[in-house]
Amino acid sequence: MSDDRSSSGHHQKTWLDKITQAFSGDPRNRTELLEQLREAETNEVLDAESLSIIEGAFQVSEMQVREIMIPRAQMVCVSVDQSPQQFLPKVISSAHSRYPVIGESKDDVLGILLAKDLLPLALAPDKHFDIKSLLRPAAVVPESKRLNVLLNEFRSTRNHMAIVVDEYGGTAGLVTIEDVLEQIVGDIEDEHDVEEDTNIKPMQDGHFIVKALTPIDDFNEHFHSSFSDKEFDTIGGIVMHNFGHMPKRSETVNIEGFQFQVLHADSRRIRLLRVTPA
C-alpha cells in the first residue's frame, strides 16, 4: 500500500510543480515575470485571487504614500487639551483604533492614542485623566516614501500608523498598515467601515486618484466632462467597457481626453483609478 501511495504522489503534480513548469524560461525583467504569471492564471495553473495578490505586491513598490494616505482634512484627531467627555463622542462615532493627539494644530502631532488605552475610564470615570501619559510615539514619514519600504518599517517597528509630512514639514495626512495591505490583498472591511465621501482626490503632480464606484454625474461635475450615464452608472463601468476585458493593475486606456490607469483591481472589478486629464 505504501508503494501505491508513493507512486500516486509521484505522478500528482503539486502547485509548486505546476508553477515551475509554467516558467520554462527565466524572466529577464518584472514585465516578463508578470506576463508569465498572467499566462499561468489563464492556463489555470494559478488562481485569479493569487495573481491579484502577487500583482499587488509588485504594485506597492511603485506607489508612494501620498497616493493612499488619508488627507489632513479627513484626519480624526484628539486635542491634548480636551477632556474625555469632550473627545469620547468623536472616538465612539469614528470607531478607529488609533488617534493622533495634537497640540495647537494638526501640524503639532504630540503622539498616538490607542482606543484600548481608554478602557480604564469605563471602570473609573472619576479618576484623574492624563492623556499625555497614554501617548505612543508618532512615526513620521514623507509623502514620497515607497509603500514597500513603509510596510517593512511598519513590520520592524510594530507601528500601525504614521503621520505623513509634506516637503515643508507640515502634516499632509496619515497612513496605516491597513491602507498598505489593502493595496496587496484588496479592501479589508470591518463592521465599522463606511464609504468615504471623497471619491476624487487631487494629487500634487496633476493627476487624480478616483474610486471606480464614483457616479458618472459626480465625475462629470468635478472634471466638467460629458460622459454618458445611459449605459453605466459609475466611471468604473465606462473604463471596464472601453478595456473590453477585466484589466490588470497598471493597464491604461484613453477615453475622451482622459487617461485612466488601473491602480487597484481584483478578479471581479476595478476598485481604484489614476486619472490624468488631457
| Dist CA 239 CA 265 (whole Å) | 12
Shared-domain flag, residues 168 and 80: yes
Domain that holds residue 39: 2-46
CB 109 within 8 A of CB 171: yes
Contact, 173 vs 141, CB < 8 A?
Answer: no
258 domain residue, yes or no:
yes
| pLDDT tens for each residue of 224-263 | 999 998 889 999 999 999 998 888 777 899 999 999 998 8
Q: Among residues of the chain, what percentage have pLDDT more than 70?
A: 84
Q: Do both 200 and 219 map to the same domain? A: yes
Q: Which of 161, 184, 207 finishes a domain?
A: 184
Distance from the Cα of residue 207 to its chain's centroid: 17
Say if residue 200 is in the same domain as residue 236: yes
CA distance 12 to 2: 15
Mean pLDDT of 20-49: 72
Write down the residue that cell numbers 497612513 correspond to: 175
Confidence of residue 8 (pLDDT cuts 50, 70, 90): very low
- Say whether pLDDT at 1 is over 70: no
Considering the domain boundaries, does residue 168 fall inside one? yes
Question: Is 58 inside a domain boundary?
Answer: no
Mean pLDDT confidence for 35-57: 78
For residue 43, pLDDT over 90 is answered with: no
The answer to whether residues 79 and 164 belong to one domain is: yes
CATH code for the domain of 215: 3.30.465.10
Task: Assess if residue 63 is contained within a domain.
Answer: no
User: pLDDT (tens digit, 9 = 90+) per residue, 114-137?
Assistant: 999 988 887 776 678 889 999 999
Mean pLDDT of the chain: 82
> Distance (Å, rounded) from C-alpha 38 to C-alpha 275?
25
User: Model's pTM, two decimal places?
Assistant: 0.59
Q: Does 84 lie in the same domain as 11?
A: no
By DSSP bridging, strand 78-79 and strand 109-114 are unpaired
